[in-house]
Amino acid sequence: YVIYTSGSTGKPKGAGNSHRALVNRLHWMQKAYGLDGTDTVLQKTPFSFDVSVWEFFWPLLTGARLAVALPGDHRDPERLVATINEYGVSTLHFVPSMLQAFMTSELVESCCSLKRVVCSGEALPAELAAQVLKRLPHTGLYNLYGPTEAAIDVTHWTCTVNDHLSVPIGQPIDNLKTHILEDGLLPAAPGTAAELYLGGVGLARGYHNRPSL
């Protein structure tokens, strides 16, 4: 599939992701978080955002149910709580800012069916993560990271109450590599500012109709 970057650093670019990269990503997610026929995934992400790809295909690959939220439900905490409880949703995704809005509902604790809350798209504040783990103690909270130029996510972290200062982006998923490099593409010393480089099967083929990039 081709999905466009936000354009925050210039003209939006269409990243061409491969079938192999997507299959790798979906197989890793099943291995890590294990859906089965008792699960229901809530699809509420606009399909212009790559998270929607796993929301659609992960449950369909594994025999779980796919519940599709009504337009606007993801912006209304009370409607979202009602949807989760109506369909027995076990798994859903939030951008952290939307998770923050969801947690303003006094009915969050009623979502007893929730097993997995997956976050990505923005940095996850440690204070927010701690609040989720406290109010939804039977729910796993997972922080994933990935740029548009890879098939959805490249690193993962399982949140715990010990994430006091910050929530890491974690370790690479299967068949992906991460490198922290300084100028000259040399490994950076711990604690120094550097760039994150990615490698492995998850990388996009390139930018659509922009071979020079």
Average pLDDT over every residue of 72-91: 94
Average pLDDT over every residue of 68-96: 94
Q: pLDDT value at position 145?
A: 97
Whether the predicted pLDDT of 48 surpasses 90: no
CA neighbor of 200 nearest in space, from 173, 180, 181:
173
Sorting pLDDT into bands at 50, 70 and 90, what band is 73?
A: confident
Tens digit of pLDDT for each residue in 131-164? Answer: 999 999 999 999 999 999 999 999 999 999 999 8
β-pairing, 176-182 vs 195-200, is: antiparallel
Sorting pLDDT into bands at 50, 70 and 90, what band is 10?
A: confident
Domains in the chain and their CATH numbers? 2-206 (3.40.50.12780)
Whether the predicted pLDDT of 26 surpasses 90: yes
Sorting pLDDT into bands at 50, 70 and 90, what band is 111?
A: very high
Whether the predicted pLDDT of 47 surpasses 90: no
Average pLDDT over every residue of 57-83: 93
Q: Which residues contact 38 (CB under 8 A, 6 or more apart)?
A: 64, 90
Q: pLDDT value at position 13?
A: 94
**How much is the pTM?**
0.94
Return the ∠ at Cα 177 (arms to 166 and 124), rounded to 5°: 20
CA distance 180 to 145: 15
Q: pLDDT value at position 75?
A: 85
